[in-house]
């Protein structure tokens, strides 16, 4: 444990019902005793039992600052693993600041960003993947991102990585023992046995790596681009999905000239929606730039929503858009279904091979079917966080890829008939790469970098 005692406001600096000042460290109870007085003046909080709540007042010298509840949590049964005191005061900005100032004057120092969680990691309360999940929980923007982060916080990633590392370290130890004591431990034919183990562990790692694309979309949202000809109803669709007038809608073709971005949540999934300029040949310089941006964004999208005006014939502009859909996840939206159709579902099905949904952005019809189709397309209709682990952190993905490459080198060494000590070297590289995910093989600089991104008070 670290020697000094830290303190910070753990709730948002805004007007609220309750504000929390968190104090953690060896002197947490002693410092609390200097600023806290019970209502009857007889309760010495320094002698309090763990996990008890006390009612009283915070004083700065002889000045009473606020009426509070104080919670005592003695280490190691606390978030940080240290003695911790949480002061629940009134949520006014001034009140929280004055309580914090009193605590600091009593001997605590201001906590650095993420220092409470950093201490929880350093004191063995959580591993590094769980610590990173703390910020993911705080930053979660949709139901699935929250579930994924909570799954990681409960140790889903730790469990998966630990199982693979245990298998690897067993074989490292076996090889090293055999090399040290060849008379009693034989490694004849060991390459074949190890090859089967490596194949199994590589498959586990590959599944985790492959989950990153879904995990990234769970965390950050599906990059969704709306394309179509001018006046097809793209901006009306965006307004319908957002639930308010975000995009200008007129009967004048080419109203949208730049990319309008908005994040929405459909059935627990975040979509980073981008309404683009209508794709058509134009001599207007500004509109031409907007059309080119529409093409670029469509090429980079996770999902394209192609809006077709069902009351208007397809033309050369539609043919260009259809090329953009090739090799992309896309949904064709047959808009203006309330009007007499000229373009049919059958026609579009033959041309695109993509899911087709009839909608009316004006009358807000077909949105539920669109939500269902997106969920089915990206997550096979449902996301489960009981058995499946989703990698959402780019650092974790890189470590997994390094481990996979190291195990591949072991396979190559086995196939070439290399000495067993070559196996051991690459196995150890894989073991350490995986350890960097949980924090068991990571440098101080990386730890400091990770926790510097946290908010103060967490």
pLDDT in tens, 403-438: 999 999 999 999 998 887 788 899 999 999 999 999
Q: Does domain 131-216+393-452 have CATH number 3.40.50.970?
A: no
Q: Is the pLDDT of residue 79 over 80?
A: yes
pLDDT at 169: 93
DSSP 8-state symbol, 370: H
Q: Which of 71-85, 226-240, 287-301, 362-376 has the highest mean pLDDT?
A: 71-85
Architecture of domain 6-111: 2-Layer Sandwich (3.30)
Residue 255 near residue 236 (C-beta atoms within 8 A): no
Give the model's pLDDT for residue 250: 38
Cα–Cα distance measured from residue 311 to residue 366, given in angstroms and rounded to the nearest whole number: 17
Contact between residue 325 and residue 352 where contact means Cβ atoms under 8 Å apart:
yes
Q: Is 186 exposed, middle or buried (0-12, 13-18, 19+ CB in 10 A)?
A: exposed
For residue 433, what pLDDT is reported?
95
Indicate the SS3 state at residue 231. Answer: coil
Domains of the chain by residue range: 6-111, 131-216+393-452, 221-379
Q: Where are the beta strands (DSSP E) in 206-254?
A: 222-228
Report the pLDDT value the prediction gives residue 320, as an integer from 0 to 100.
82
CB of 67 closer than 8 Å to CB of 92:
no
Percent of the chain past pLDDT 70, that is, above it, reads 90
Q: Mind listing the pLDDT tens digit for each residue in 133-151? A: 888 887 777 777 777 788 8
Cα separation, 182 vs 203, whole angstroms: 31
Helix axes 420-438, 394-415, angle to 10 degrees: 170
Structural tokens at position 156? 């889903």
* Percent of the chain whose predicted confidence (pLDDT) is above 90: 37
DSSP annotation string for 75-106: TTSSSSSS-EEEEEEE--HHHHHHHHHHHHHT
Nearest to 452 by CA among 117, 113, 137: 113
**Nearest residue to 297 via CA among 202, 227, 394:** 227
CATH T-level assignment (fold) for domain 221-379:
Rossmann fold (3.40.50)
């Amino acid at each position: 444990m670290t020697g000094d005692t830290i303190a910070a406001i753990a709730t948002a600096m805004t007007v609220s019902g309750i504000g929390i000042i968190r104090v953690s460290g060896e002197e947490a109870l002693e410092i609390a005793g200097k600023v806290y007085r019970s209502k009857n003046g007889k309760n010495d909080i320094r002698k309090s039992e763990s996990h008890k709540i006390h009612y009283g007042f915070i004083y700065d010298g002889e000045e009473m600052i606020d009426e509070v509840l104080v919670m005592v949590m003695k280490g190691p049964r606390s978030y940080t693993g240290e003695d911790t005191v949480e002061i629940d005061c009134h949520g006014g900005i001034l009140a929280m600041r004055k309580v914090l100032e009193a605590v600091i004057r009593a001997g605590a120092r201001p906590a650095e960003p993420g220092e409470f969680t950093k201490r929880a990691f350093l004191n063995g309360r959580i591993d590094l993947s769980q610590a990173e999940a703390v910020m993911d929980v705080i930053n979660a923007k949709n139901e699935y991102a929250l579930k994924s982060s909570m799954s990681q916080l409960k140790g889903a990633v730790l469990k998966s990585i630990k199982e693979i590392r245990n298998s690897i370290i067993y074989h490292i130890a076996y090889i090293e023992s055999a090399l040290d004591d060849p008379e009693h431990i034989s490694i004849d034919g060991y390459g074949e046995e190890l090859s089967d183990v490596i194949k199994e562990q590589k498959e586990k790692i590959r599944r985790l790596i492959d989950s990153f694309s879904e995990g990234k979309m769970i965390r950050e949202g599906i990059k969704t681009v709306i394309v179509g000809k001018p006046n097809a109803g793209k901006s009306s669709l965006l307004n319908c999905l957002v639930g308010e007038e975000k995009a200008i809608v007129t009967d004048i073709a080419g109203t949208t000239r730049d990319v309008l971005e908005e994040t929405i949540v459909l059935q627990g999934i975040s979509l980073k929606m981008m309404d683009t300029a209508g794709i058509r040949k134009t001599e207007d310089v500004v509109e031409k730039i907007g059309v080119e941006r529409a093409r670029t964004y469509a090429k980079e999208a996770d999902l394209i929503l192609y809006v077709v005006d069902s009351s208007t014939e397809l033309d050369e502009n539609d043919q260009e858009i259809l090329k953009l859909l090739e090799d992309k996840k896309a949904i064709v939206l047959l808009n203006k279904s309330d009007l007499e159709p000229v373009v049919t579902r059958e026609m579009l099905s033959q041309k695109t091979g993509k899911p087709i949904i009839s909608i009316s952005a004006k009358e807000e019809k077909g949105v539920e079917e669109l939500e269902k189709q997106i969920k089915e397309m990206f997550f096979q209709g449902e996301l489960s966080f009981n058995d499946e682990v989703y990698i959402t952190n780019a650092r974790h993905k890189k470590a997994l890829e390094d481990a996979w490459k190291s195990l591949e080198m072991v396979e190559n060494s086995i196939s070439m008939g290399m000495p067993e000590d070559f196996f051991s070297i690459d196995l150890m590289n894989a073991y350490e790469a995986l350890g960097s995910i949980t924090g068991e093989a990571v440098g101080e600089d990386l730890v400091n970098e990770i926790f510097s991104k946290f908010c103060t008070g967490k």
